Amino acid sequence: MSFTAAIIGRPNVGKSTLFNRLVGQRLALVDDLPGVTRDRREGKARLGDIEFRVIDTAGLEDVTDQSLAGRMREQTERAIDDADVVLMVIDARAGVTPMDRHFADLLRRRSVPVLLVANKSEGKGGIAGAYESFELGLGDPIAISAEHGEGLSDLFDALVPYA
């Protein structure tokens, strides 16, 4: 596969939905099995005519112990280490939260290229969040709806340079 993309972001923005959308239904079913470790999932993504490895930094939102922040950070850092490009996902409906800024700060300290992905952008609910997201300093947001399969051609266009 030509390159590796890591999906990064705070819980509940739709990282796993995007992962499943990129990888396909087969792995999505596996993910629903109880007891399967969801700390990190990797899959072969297909978008248009490009194939790449995708890493979902997943599951830690279910952990409520004190080490959550540390583990989330460690997992994120490891995924960034392995990535040629990072998809930093935000929830366009929720707008930019302090935790989004935390992830953006972490990414700005690294040399990895970042694509800002404003998920949940179907309908009109995402417009405000997309504007707000410019403050993250990660460039123009790519508006998508992972759930509804919208905006994927824009994501494709942004990923082509890495293929």
Q: CA 8, 11, 16, 21 torsion: positive or negative? A: negative
Under the binding rule (CB under 6 A), the answer on residue 146 touching ligand GDP is yes
- Residue 133 to residues 11, 75, 124: CA-CA distances in angstroms? 17, 24, 16
**Residues 66-85 as x/- pattern, contact with ligand GDP by CB under 6 A:** --------------------
Residue with smaller CB distance to ligand GDP, 28 or 163: 28
Q: Beta partners for 42?
A: 55
Residue with smaller CB distance to ligand GDP, 88 or 159: 88
Under the binding rule (CB under 6 A), the answer on residue 17 touching ligand GDP is yes
Q: Three-state SS across 73-113?
A: HHHHHHHHHHCCEEEEEEECCCCCCHHHHHHHHHHHCCCCC
| Count of residues that interact with ligand GDP, criterion CB under 6 A | 17
Residue with smaller CB distance to Mg ion, 4 or 16: 16
Under the binding rule (CB under 6 A), the answer on residue 100 touching ligand GDP is no
DSSP calls for 16-79: HHHHHHHH-HHHHHHHTSTT---SEEEEEEEETTEEEEEEEE-SGGG--STTHHHHHHHHHHHH
Under the binding rule (CB under 6 A), the answer on residue 145 touching ligand GDP is yes
Q: Beta partners for 41?
A: 56
Residues 101-120 that bind ligand GDP (CB under 6 A): 119-120
Stretch that binds ligand GDP, among 47-55, 129-137, 144-152, 153-161 (CB under 6 A): 144-152
**Footprint of Mg ion (CB under 5 A):** 15-16, 58
Q: Which residues bind ligand GDP (CB under 6 A)?
A: 9, 11-17, 58, 61, 119-120, 122, 145-148
